[in-house]
């Protein structure tokens, strides 16, 4: 959600006092943006990965980072976003027309849309437990209930494999090639 919108909502809470307190409490409780701190990647191999790293892996699997990529079902951009995804993001931020369909071709704006979408649907209150990286990936791929759909598991496996490669590359950069070969036998 844009800082301007959040500020306006906070001002409304202050202006309307007690009547708006439940709304403000609901916003605090239910609008949890995606994590901006490192998240352990126990499922994807050794090391730690940030939410932005996860988005990089999704972007790579979707289009290899090509903002002009077009999918077979009308998906567009580096995150292969459908029109319904854009409509949903605009509904989430409570303003129609915030993002246009053309924004899917802009890497920065499409990344913002994915963060908003996942920040809304991949929450403890909606899933009923702690959110995992797998949940984020499968919700991006299969919609709000994607974490429950069997058909999103192969997509998760692709993203997980990409994260493992990213973790391996980070080890090689940080520790040198000899350490990486000793730690990652398949790199020989």
One-letter-per-residue 3-state SS of the chain: CCHHHHHHHHHHHHHHHHHHHHHHHHHHHHCCCCCCCCEECCCCCCCEECHHHHHHHHHHHHHCCCCCCECCCCCECCCCECHHHHHHHHHHCCCCCCCCHHHHHCHHHHHHHHHHHHHHHCCHHHHCCCCCHHHHHHHHHHCCCHHHCHHHHHHHHHHHHHHHHHHHHHHHHHHHHHHHHHHCHHHC
pLDDT of residue 118: 95
Write down the domain spans for the chain: 1-31, 36-187
pLDDT of residue 176: 62
pLDDT tens digits for the chain (188 residues)?
444 454 455 545 454 444 444 554 545 555 544 444 334 343 444 457 788 999 999 999 999 999 999 999 999 999 999 999 999 999 998 765 689 999 999 999 999 999 999 999 999 999 999 999 999 999 999 999 999 999 999 999 999 999 988 887 776 666 665 554 555 444 43
Q: Which CATH architecture has domain 36-187?
A: Orthogonal Bundle (1.10)
pTM score, whole prediction: 0.68
pLDDT of residue 181: 52
């Amino acid at each position: 959600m844009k800082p301007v919108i959040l500020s306006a909502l906070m001002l409304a809470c202050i202006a309307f006092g007690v009547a708006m307190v439940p709304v403000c409490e609901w916003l605090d409780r239910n609008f949890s943006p995606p994590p901006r701190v490192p998240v352990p990647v126990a499922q994807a191999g050794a090391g730690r990965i940030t939410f932005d790293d996860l988005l990089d892996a999704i972007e790579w699997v979707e289009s290899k980072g090509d903002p002009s990529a077009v999918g077979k079902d009308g998906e567009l951009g580096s995150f292969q976003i459908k029109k319904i995804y854009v409509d949903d993001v605009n509904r989430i931020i409570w303003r129609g027309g915030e993002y246009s369909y053309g924004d899917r071709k802009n890497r920065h704006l499409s990344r913002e849309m994915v963060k908003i979408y996942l920040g809304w649907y991949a929450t403890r209150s909606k899933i009923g437990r702690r959110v995992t990286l797998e949940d984020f990936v499968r919700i991006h791929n299969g919609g709000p209930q994607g974490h429950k759909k069997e058909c999103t598991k192969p997509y998760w496996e692709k993203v997980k494999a990409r994260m493992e490669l990213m973790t391996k590359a980070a080890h090689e950069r940080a520790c040198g090639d000899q350490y990486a070969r000793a730690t990652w036998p398949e790199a020989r």
